[in-house]
Amino acid sequence: MGAMESLMQGFATALTAQNLLWSLLGVTLGTFIGILPGIGPALTIALLLPVTAKLDPTGAFIMFAGLYYGAMYGSSTTSILLNTPGESGSIITSLEGNRMARQGRGAAALSTAAIGSFVAGTIGTMLLTFLAPVFVKVALRFGPAEYFGLMVFAFTAATALLGSSVARGLASLVLGLLIGLVGIDVLTGQTRLSFGIPSLFDGIDVVVVAVGLFAVGEALHIASRPDLRNAELSAVKGSLFMTREEWSRSWKPWLRGTGLGFPFGVLPAGGTEIPTFLSYMLEKKLSKRPQEFGAGAIEGVAGPEAANNAAVAGVLVPLLTLGLPTSATAAILLVAFQQYGLQPGPLLFTGSSSLVWGLIASLYIGNAMLLVLNLPLVGLWVRLLTIPAPLLYGGILVFSTLGVYSLNHSLVDLVLLYILGLLGFFMRRYDFPVAPCIIGLILGPMAEGQFRRALAISQGDPSVFLTQPISAGFLLAALVIFVAPIVFRRFRPSGT
């Protein structure tokens, strides 16, 4: 069956009244939660996981698709108006976007961000539609050794490319691996690191870790620094309809940003930070007015914002076809699949094809809804940003503990939430990236399983990872990605 045909069937699933409602609910909730400062898409989905536990899977995933894109739109609004990016991909947007807002051109910044996100999201989703079947074909040939090589590559990409230094990225990853070890080993039934506490036998729930590191950690971090507590909100000024000049300055950066963002999302190369940064540098270089950069250049919003959304669409390719999460949000989405007993990977496309293609189709629909929802209604959303910080964080923590408690009705989970919150606080305080920890937590047990399965097949001969060409290739690429930044840093002038 061709991609077009599958997609049409997907639209048939997604366009039923009920699923359209789920999509609308998803994009609305996604924008709503994404716009709250300090809350990104990963946390949004983590918080909603317990609530959606009883929905039917197709409806739930259509909602998650809406949430996934919605939270991205919401985050960019916040970073433009408040200069507090909700997730790492929006950091660059806030550079120029917030400047524009302060000069009274906030509306134009929001417009170019929203339309750019729409363009990039749509192109990205199209590329996903046609790339996914190709990936599935390749993935069907992967055995345990290949998967292990791929995961090691994803680990190194996450540690080397996220955050300020390789050592800190690695430390965060290893902490994730450590948390992933807790519980009963699936292959032998041995309990590990559970210290005789029964509720640890099933392992530490990813939702607890994500909510602890993101929500509680962020709240403790902001509260500890009085200088961060009250960010200054810029009002939306100017016209939402971009001028002819703004259009002509935006469309090329949108397309270039998409071209940069998508491949970075597809390759397990660390998510959205790098393509947004590259897009910013590229636009600055190509611009006829480089002096405007740093003082509110519209290209500096249009390019990175498109790169961000294209990367977010790209991340879905390895997630859906290989079961490989390459960003914190994708890791949480993977958990959402597992909650419904679905394992993303090549077999998902044959076993649950109506669900997968329904999800992909609803990405197109959600993206269009978001454009409508965000541009005319932006004034309404902005009101959310006027909630005073004490009440906002009070509410966020009430919902965080609620979400965690309703997972298993376990008090141990609430204590763990606090401990992980403290960990998240110290990670922020000492500048450790959080995303590698989540990726390590999800991928660690998967990598271990593939590693042991590969060795069981080869009867204990470890050379299997190096004699299989695909696996050896991934391991080599992992080595390169690890060594390259160290070499690169040696030759880079300081101060960047």
The footprint of other proteins (CB under 8 A) covers 50-51, 54, 164-165, 167-168, 170-171, 174, 177-178, 181, 185, 187-188, 190, 192-193, 195, 216, 219-220, 222-227, 229, 388-391, 393-395, 397-399, 401-402, 405-406, 409, 411, 414-415, 417-418, 421-422, 425-426, 428-431, 444, 448, 451-452, 455-456, 460
Closer Cβ to other proteins, 383 or 409, answer by number: 409
Q: Is 397 exposed, middle or buried (0-12, 13-18, 19+ CB in 10 A)?
A: middle
Q: Using alpha carbons only, what angle is made at residue 170 by residues 165 and 67, rounded to the nearest 5 degrees?
A: 90
CB of 150 to other proteins, least distance (A): 17
Q: For residue 227, count CB atoms less than 10 angstroms from its CB and return exposed for 0-12, middle for 13-18, buried for 19 or more.
A: exposed
CB of 391 to other proteins, least distance (A): 6
The 8-class DSSP code of residue 192 comes to E
In the bound state with other proteins, the residue whose beta carbon lies nearer, of 181 and 240, is 181
Q: Count CB neighbours of 58 within 10 A.
A: 22
27, amino acid identity: V
Task: Name the strand (E) or helix (H) holding 122.
Answer: helix 106-139
Nearer to other proteins, 51 or 384 (CB): 51
Residue 86 or 296 having the CB closest to other proteins: 86
Closest contact distance (angstroms) between CB of 420 and other proteins is 11
Of the pair 164, 243, the CB lying nearest other proteins is at: 164
Least Å distance, CB 433 to other proteins, is: 13
Tell me the three state secondary structure of residue 195.
Answer: coil
Q: How far is CA 152 from CA 22, 149, 175, 246, 349, in A?
A: 36, 5, 16, 44, 24
**CB nearer to other proteins: pick between 128 and 151:** 151
Rg (CA), the chain: 22
Closest distance to other proteins from the beta carbon of 91 (Å): 15
Which of 273, 326, 312 is CA-nearest to residue 150?
326
- The identity of residue 371, as a single letter, is L
Task: Determine how many CB atoms are found less than 10 A away from the CB of residue 411.
Answer: 10
Q: Are 419 and 212 in contact (CB under 8 A)?
A: yes
Q: CB nearer to other proteins: give 143 or 263.
A: 143
How far apart are alpha carbons 122 and 128 in whole angstroms?
10
Shortest CB 245 distance to other proteins, Å = 40
Q: Which residue has the tokens 């524009």?
A: 100
Rounded least distance, CB 443 to other proteins, Å: 12
- Interhelix angle 299-322/273-286, rounded to 10 degrees, is 150
Grouping H, G, I as helix, E, B as strand and the rest as coil, residue 289 is: coil
Least CB distance to other proteins at residue 368 (A): 29
Is residue 143 helix, strand or coil?
A: coil
Cα–Cα distance, 379 to 60 (Å, whole number)? 29
Nearer to other proteins, 139 or 396 (CB): 396
Tell me whether residue 76 or residue 159 sits nearer to other proteins (CB atom). Answer: 159
Cβ proximity of 120 and 313 under 8 Å? yes
Smaller CB separation from other proteins, 136 or 170: 170
Closest separation in Å from C-beta 21 to other proteins? 16
Taking the least distance from each CB to other proteins, the nearer of 225 and 289 is: 225
Residue with tokens 């909602």, as numbered in its chain: 63
Smallest gap from Cβ 429 to other proteins, in A, equals: 5
- Ordered DSSP codes for 336-373: HHHHTT---SHHHHHHTHHHHHHHHHHHHHHHHHHHHH
Please count the residues of the chain.
496
- How far apart are CB 293 and other proteins at their closest, in Å? 24
Q: Are 204 and 419 in contact (CB under 8 A)?
A: no
